Amino acid sequence: MFAQNKLNLIPYPQNIKLNEGNFTIPNVLLVSSELPKNETDYFKKRIASVLQSKDSKNADAQLVYSQLPKGAAGEEEFYILEVSPKQIRIQSYTRQGYFLALQTLSQLLEEYKDVKKIPALKIEDQPNFAWRGMHLDVCRHFFTVDEVKQYIDYLAMYKLNTFHWHLTDDQGWRIEIKKYPKLTQIGSKRKESMIGAYVDNTFDGKPYGPYFYTQQQIKEVVKYAQDRHITVVPEIEMPGHALAALSAYPELACTKGPFEAATKWGVFDDVFCPKDETFTFLENVLDEVIQLFPSQYIHIGGDECPKTRWKECAHCQDLIRKNNLKDEHGLQSYFIHRIEKYVNSKGRKIIGWDEILEGGLAPNAAVMSWTGVNGGIEAAKSKHFAVMTPGAYCYFDHYQGDPQSEPNAFGGFTPLDKVYSYNPVPSELNAEQAKYIMGVQANLWTEYILDFKQVQYMIFPRLMALSEVGWGTSDPENYKDFENRVITQFKVLDKMKINYAKSIYNISGKVIPANNGIDYELSTSQSSSGIRYTLDGTAPSLNSKIYQGPVPIPSSLTIKSAYFEDGQLKSAVSTQEFTISKTTGKNISLEQQPSENYSFGGAFTLVDGIIGNTRQLGKTWLGFQGKDVIATIDFGQKTVFSEVYFNTLENKGSWIHLAKSAKIFVSDDNKNFKLIKEISKEEIQNAKGKIRLNVGTQNAKYLKVNIENAGIIPPGNPGADSNAWLFVDEIGVN
């Protein structure tokens, strides 16, 4: 009898009952000719590498199907899969349920093909969430029709049912609109592209495009997805992220232009002007989009719309007065309401990023909550549907392993276990409000993703974690079991020649406080006995120290580590430099907490002995949006020091600004603090954020550092009128 933990299924089914005996996998599987053709043909193609199949009119065929009587609402994806020693039977209410059962069966065949036996079992299964989505940005970098089809196949393999296609943005317009040919003639290309890390501000000097999908190609992709029971939701960005459209039709802007498709990443001030000709244009565009996409929802973006141009525009200010709008946020709401009314008149609904909440949510709109969970909470509490896609858990353009051994990525740190830990239903919602959470989605923005191999690398294996979260069977307490199932799935990805990330094999390092200092804890998905490390900066080998527990870090040094198996190096070499000061490992508290996207390690990150890499915003920086950093460090006893240091970042394209000011205080009782040093905005700018302060000879038990956020981003900058980000890495004293 097979043990349940040997069923390496992803997503794991809701209910499995194992029975006596097993089904012997034949050389040729006899498939009932009465099975639904489309889905069965897909199944045959998927399992072709495992075994051949042949249609059979015999009632005793090895794979048979029967349709259940009409199910209740929400049971469209329900299925029963029964494997007996002689036959495999599938039952469902719909062809969609049948298709999902075939994905489970395919995984069983792939898992047990070598032993030639599938355990006898009965699975009764359906997902918890109706929206299980993956997004793909084709504007920053473009992907061919064949590549998009492959992407859809990956979703189908793991029972995702929604493909969010991000088709327009500042850097490119990717969908043919017959009424407005210049959108693709002009807006589908840019003169060059940003390369490397954003802070490098370098460009490749190569024209990009024209790249777009014809309407015939769009229809082809939509049909391809429909055959796999996947809904394609198109996104047409408005009112912001519009530079590519404005490059083609500058009269739709508040100023005369000229404009060009953006060559940099980020957010730009020039947006659609809410005048009648703009709405006529957008309505005509949406007419063609609605004809191409049968989805219930049309995504209209709505995010990151700077109000700079609207504030300076006489027409916009007149519109605010005439309609008794409060301000430019009210104007954004006016814009979204007007578009929603039009989309509703066509029998469809809008969904947008959570900024569509600004100024009041349109009556029938759904919210895609990305800046955190608050947008989804606000929507659900006001009886609007929401899809949860918070950046901290669901942005697959973030690093998934140690940034030092990963390809260049947007920033953030979202490893497999973090994705798997996500619960799409916020605890703040009661049972009735929770019904408005439609589901979960992960997003793949492609600023730093140059080709489809890199797409594969960024979504696998994290897509598997998303799949199980969306199905509703994820169990973070048993993450190791999930990780083992993922590693088993790697064999399937290998056969498909998918370039998946092997980050879970790499060494993961964690700084932990110990004996008034720090230790460095190393781990890997495999046995820790395979970890070798060095403390002198040399590359580890089989002859290096064997990891036997957390490594003390008594002084500044570089630790390098790697995983070896059967005498062979199996992982990337991980490198970590430590800069030890008198604050390292000490108790620290923060008055305001960092944003969840950039909170890895919490307050302790500021005293963990690691100086942040300015090119990688992953594990070593804390990010605060619109908040000051007020940190108090307890030395444990009175300590003599004369220098305080910390680093802040500037990356205005990502709304990251240097600190406005900083103050240093000392205390002996943690109540009465004395100011010992103050530094101005000009001094911080002159130091380029790398602050080294001579504070004279001090002898104190507590140190308080108050680093002031830049506040509201001023006009002329990306993200103008929004809260600036403040990034800080390490607070040290000598």
CA distances from 16 to 3, 104, 477 (A): 11, 12, 19
- CA separation for the pair 475, 485 (Å, rounded): 13
* DSSP-derived 3-state class of residue 726: strand
Choosing from 269, 304, 354, 608, the catalytic residue is 304
Given the residues 39, 110, 137, 169, the one annotated as active site: 169
- DSSP class of residue 124 equals E
Q: Is 304 a catalytic residue?
A: yes
Give φ, ψ of 526 to 5 degrees: -100, -170
Scanning the structure block, which residue is given the tokens 């029971």?
A: 229
The neighbouring-strand residues paired with 569 are 564
Q: How far apart are CA 45 and CA 31, in angstroms?
A: 13
Scan for tokens 């923060």, then name that residue: 590
Q: Which of 241, 329, 398, 657 is catalytic?
A: 241
CA distance 559 to 553: 9
User: Tokens at residue 591, please?
Assistant: 């008055």
Nearest-angstrom CA–CA distance, 258 and 261: 11
- Angle (deg, nearest 10), helices 276-292 and 328-345: 40
For 383-408, give one letter per residue: b (16+ CB within 10 A) or e.
ebbbbbbbbbbbbbbbbbbbbbbbeb
Q: Residue 586: what residue type?
A: K
Question: Distance between alpha carbon 509 and the CA centroid of its chain, in Å?
Answer: 22
What number of H helices and E strands is found in the chain? 18, 37
Structure tokens that stand for 266 in this block: 């980020």
Helix (H) or strand (E) run with residue 164 in it = strand 162-166
Is 169 annotated as catalytic? yes
| Distance separating alpha carbons of residues 603 and 587, to the nearest angstrom | 9
Reduced to 3 states (helix: H, G, I; strand: E, B; else coil), residue 490 is helix
Which positions ≥6 away from 590 have C-beta within 8 Å? 602, 603, 629, 630, 631
The structure tokens 């190096």 sit at: 569
Pairing type for strands 690-708 and 661-667 reads: antiparallel
- Using CA atoms, how far apart are residues 218 and 663, in angstroms rounded to an integer? 57
**DSSP conformation letters of 184-204:** HHTTT-BS--EES-GGG-EE-
- The identity of residue 459, as a single letter, is I
Cβ pair 175, 167 in contact under 8 A: yes
DSSP collapsed to 3 states, 510-549: EEEEECCEEEEEEECCCCHHHEEEECECCCCCCCCEECCC
Among all residues, which ones are annotated catalytic?
169, 241, 304
